[in-house]
Chain A
Amino acid sequence: MTLSPAPAGTAEIPVAPREKADAPRPGPLKSSRGRSQALAAYLFLAPWFIGLFAITLGPMIASLYLSFTDYSLLSDAHWVGLDNYEKMFTQDDRFMASLRVTTTYVVVSVPLQLAFALALALVLDRGLRGLPFYRSIFYLPSLLGGSVAISILWRKIFGTDGIVNSFLGLFGYEGHGWVTSPDTALWTLIILHVWTFGAPMVIFLAGLRQIPRSLYEAAAVDGAGRWRKFRSITLPLLTPIIFFNLVLEVIKSFQSFTQSFIVSGGNGGPVDSTLFYTLYLYIKGFKNYEMGYAAGMAWVLLLIIAALTAVNFLMSRFWVFYGDDK
């Protein structure tokens, strides 16, 4: 499998679908052949079209409608206008708590995770023997991190009698219930997220490979030191990949669910300190059956994610470098 030619190519995936979409055509198509090809294309796409309308777009619109009702699965929907949204932002303390918790989680854990990913990628990129071995070790946690089993493990590692306390005990530190104390519970989830830095690390490694060696050679001729090469070549040329990872990890981590559910035992406690947004949405929609309210929360989530992504793209102008010769 080949990589796209420039780092910019990898990162533009969500940015510029238009350019990607027109693949070079072999030549002008005769109209009858064109028609039969279009027919074939729609047949190939038939399952996707059904899925798009029945599983994605349809429910999306339905969800928007439901968010203006008090639907509960047990009774009919009544139009309530903006009541659900108003309640979220003015009366629902748990909603605000879930927003606060999730935002803290994203803002702290994503940069930390990416920093670890980048640092390890830089260390591994330098012609080190055994790269595939190390890469596998660091990558493995990111495949397991979303599982129930790992969340169970985390709950126990950071429990009152868990191994973290055992280790701290060696240094004479008094045990602390990391997951049962509202001050620290969220931090255990942040550590879990940072632990899964392997996935962005692999993407960084692929990006580092694309930087032409000639640049470093030229810089060496000019007498640049290692730090200077990193600052002036590696980092700028890597910014599109950093940006790409940032956008994705923000979107992904804002929707984290399993860790919060399992570590808190399903209620986001203690004192709502691990109440992730999606966990609260789940509680509202599928425990309390306030489905209109949950649908409204889902739309707010969509808007938040869209806004965060937009902010990321706006900010990217100031720090992401797309080489002009690419």
Chain B
Amino acid sequence: MATTSKRVPALFRPAPRLVRHLLLIAAGLLMLYPLLWMVSSSFKPEELIFREPGLMPTSVTAGNYTEGWGALKHSFGYYLWNSAVLTALAVIGNLAACSLAAYAFARLEFPLKKMWFAIMLGSIMLPHHVTVVPQYIVFAKIDWINTIWPIVAPKFLATDAFFIFLMVQFIRTLPRELDEAAAIDGAGQWRTFTRVIMPLCVPALATTAIFTFIWTWNDFFTQNLYLTNSDNLTVPVALRQFMDSSGESSWGPLFAMSIISLGPIFGFFLAGQKYLIRGMATTGLK
């Protein structure tokens, strides 16, 4: 990572550095403009939002936030809490179940290992729509509609195979001598897993946790499917309902709540971007 400054003669080297920086900053601003505009609009009085495309509000108000916070049946904090519980459980489930499976694939020998490994890789590519109809039917039969279990329970069964793969790749980079030393000290597989491998896997676990958080927080399809009762809504579903109920008016409050809904993602991105970028670069997936 540190060697970037000594890189090879460049494709675009003749362009003076300053020009390149200016161009990149301009491109970055263009990319972020929609987001910045939404932030700025969320502080503008309704009638100014579409009159001014500029970023600096001529008059600032927090009214959109107070109005949006109470616009639905429950306060927006209620939906944030629902989302927080759901995503926290999803993260715990993925960390536990995927690391267990990854340890077996990376370190243990067992019959048909190659076949199971290939099936695991294949399941990463499987579109989830091909399982969603029967899943819905079963969850409806056992009365799980309008609970978080149809979303959370699969995480505890390692169905997000992408993270198994991510951790397998990581565990393989750890020296085998560690396991052997632990075995000589009389440690069983469980002890080796919990005391030797897992502590070293913190970067991979962090990547898993952050991606699981962001994907679950954003996931609209599943939450819209299973959480329809107005008491169970999570943030994405609540936002959608807010959009439908407000029609073409009250965009200010809707923007304000949208900004709040993106806040946690932005926070996790800032805190964990090192793990996100490494995780993606390592597996080549996202």
Contact = CB atoms under 8 A, between A and B. Distances in A.
Same complex: yes
Interface of A: 1-4, 10-11, 13-14, 17-18, 20-26, 29, 34, 37-38, 40-42, 44-48, 50-52, 54-56, 58-60, 62-63, 66, 71, 73, 120, 122-131, 134-144, 146-150, 152-154, 156-157, 161-163, 166-167, 195, 199, 202-203, 205-206, 213, 216-217, 220, 226-227, 229-230, 234, 241, 244, 248, 251, 254-255, 257-258, 261-262, 265-266, 278, 281-282, 285-286, 291, 294-295, 297-299, 301-302, 305, 309
B4 interface: yes
B240 A148 contact: yes
A255 B32 contact: no
Given A17-B118, A47-B97, A48-B101, A147 B262 contact: yes
Q: Is the interface of B mostly helix, strand, loop or mixed?
A: helix
B130 A63 contact: yes
Interface of B: 4-13, 17, 20-21, 24, 27-28, 31-32, 34-35, 37-38, 50, 53, 96-97, 100-101, 103-111, 113-114, 116-121, 123-138, 140, 154, 156-159, 164-165, 169-170, 172-173, 176, 180, 188-190, 193, 203-204, 214, 217-218, 220-221, 224-225, 235-236, 239-240, 243-244, 251, 254-255, 258-259, 261-262, 265-266, 269, 273, 276-286
A285 B133 CA distance: 7
Contacts of B101: 44-45, 47-48
Given A55-B157, A144-B35, A21 B258 contact: no
Interface centre among A135, A202, A297, by most B CB within 10 Å? A202
A226 B193 CA distance: 50
Contacts of B261: 147-149
Nearest to A29: B109
Given A44-B193, A148-B240, A291-B137, A213 B8 contact: yes
Contact of B28 (A126, A138, A281): A138
A205 B111 CA distance: 38
Contacts of B106: 23
A14 B189 contact: no
Q: Is the interface of A mostly helix, strand, loop or mixed?
A: helix
A100 B224 CA distance: 25
Nearest to B171: A23
Given A135-B277, A148-B240, A153-B258, A163 B282 contact: no
23 contacts: A1-B278, A10-B283, A14-B125, A37-B110, A40-B190, A44-B101, A47-B97, A55-B159, A60-B126, A123-B12, A138-B28, A139-B276, A140-B35, A148-B235, A148-B240, A156-B251, A195-B31, A203-B280, A203-B281, A217-B8, A255-B127, A258-B220, A262-B220
B50 to A, nearest CB: 4
Contacts of B130: 59-60, 63, 298-299, 301-302
Contacts of B117: 17, 20-21
A56 B258 contact: no
Contacts of B258: 148-150, 152-153
Contact of A10 (B37, B97, B284): B284
A44 B38 contact: no
Contacts of B50: 161-163, 166
A278 B240 contact: no
Given A56-B123, A258-B236, 6 more contacts: A14-B124, A42-B110, A48-B120, A150-B258, A156-B251, A229-B11
Contact of A25 (B53, B109, B262): B109
Contacts of B127: 251, 254-255, 298, 301-302, 305
Contacts of B262: 144, 147, 149-150
B112 to A, nearest CB: 10
B134 A26 contact: no
Given A45-B116, A149-B259, A299-B130, A55 B31 contact: no
Given A126-B12, A147-B265, A153-B38, A257 B220 contact: yes
Contacts of A148: 218, 220, 235-236, 239-240, 243, 258, 261
A245 to B, nearest CB: 8
A58 B157 contact: no
B121 A295 contact: no
Nearest to A224: B9
Contacts of A202: 277, 280-281, 286
